Amino acid sequence: MFIIKNNEEYYLDIFSGTKELLLKKLSLYKINLKVKIEDISDKYIAAYSRTKSPGDIIIYKDPRSEKLGYRAILALHWISDQVRDDNTDEYLEDKYEYSIPDGGVDLLYDKAMPQEYMAEEMNAISYTKGCYVGQEVISRTKYQGQVRKTIYKVTADTNLEQILHGAEITSDGKKIGIFLSGYHDKAMALIRSEDLAASSGKILLGDREIRCTRVL
């Protein structure tokens, strides 16, 4: 998620599919705090643009990559459905061009190791911050372990949008990774780097031949 401070309020920009899960988790830790947690998704929307737009809105640079544009929190009554569709397409084009994974789409709750999904490279992990949930595992992976899987950009000569998350990617008859999500002829995959480097045959997603390259 993205957390944006605006005066005395904090806006949480998240994948809509994880909204209920997040609200439940926040309410669990609200104990005796004078904090109001409100779902405002019926009033506001998160938009994306490659250029910074003027106006009295909450806007910030997407911190995950210098190649990405700007995100904004907009009141729904300010924008038309056409603008929303255009913004979504522009974001998806950049997301898959630069292989930027999203929570709820590419990282599944309680199943993803952040460092494998480039969280460190995208400024999403702090190794100096105080205690937080999962800190021990994250720090141990950083200083004692080895991250063997990572995000790869996938391209193909066919549309990849309908492929399901978790579909196997193989080479030489061996599984080397899984498919995450796609847009037109571009997609993202989580691949074991050693297996990809050792591969001598075609890289396959089912019966489709694909190409895999590192971006970040």
Q: What is the pLDDT of residues 25-47, one digit of tens each?
A: 998 888 888 899 999 999 988 88
Give the domain-ending residue among 37, 69, 97: 97
Average pLDDT over residues 206-216: 92
52 with 72: CB under 8 angstroms? Answer: no
What pLDDT shows up at residue 128? 83
Q: What is the pTM of this model?
A: 0.87
Residue 141: pLDDT band (50, 70, 90) is: confident
Look at residue 194 and give its three-state secondary structure: helix
10 and 86 fall within a common domain: yes
77 and 127 fall within a common domain: no
What pLDDT shows up at residue 132? 77
- pLDDT, one tens digit per residue, over 51-103 is 886 555 789 999 999 999 999 998 887 665 545 544 568 999 999 999 999 99
Residue 169: pLDDT band (50, 70, 90) is: very high
Count of domains forming the chain: 2
What pLDDT shows up at residue 47? 87
Residue-averaged pLDDT of the chain: 89
What pLDDT shows up at residue 75? 85
206 with 167: CB under 8 angstroms? Answer: yes
82 and 145 fall within a common domain: no
Query: Which tops the pLDDT comparison, 77 or 12?
Result: 12
CATH at 150: 2.40.30.160
74 with 13: CB under 8 angstroms? Answer: no
Range of the domain at 177: 114-213
Residue 107 is assigned to a structural domain of this protein: no
Give the domain-ending residue among 97, 132, 155: 97
Burial 48-84 (b: 16+ CB within 10 A, else e): bbeeeeeeeebbeebebbeebbebbbbeeeeeeeeee
1 with 103: CB under 8 angstroms? Answer: yes
Residue 105 is assigned to a structural domain of this protein: no
93 and 15 fall within a common domain: yes
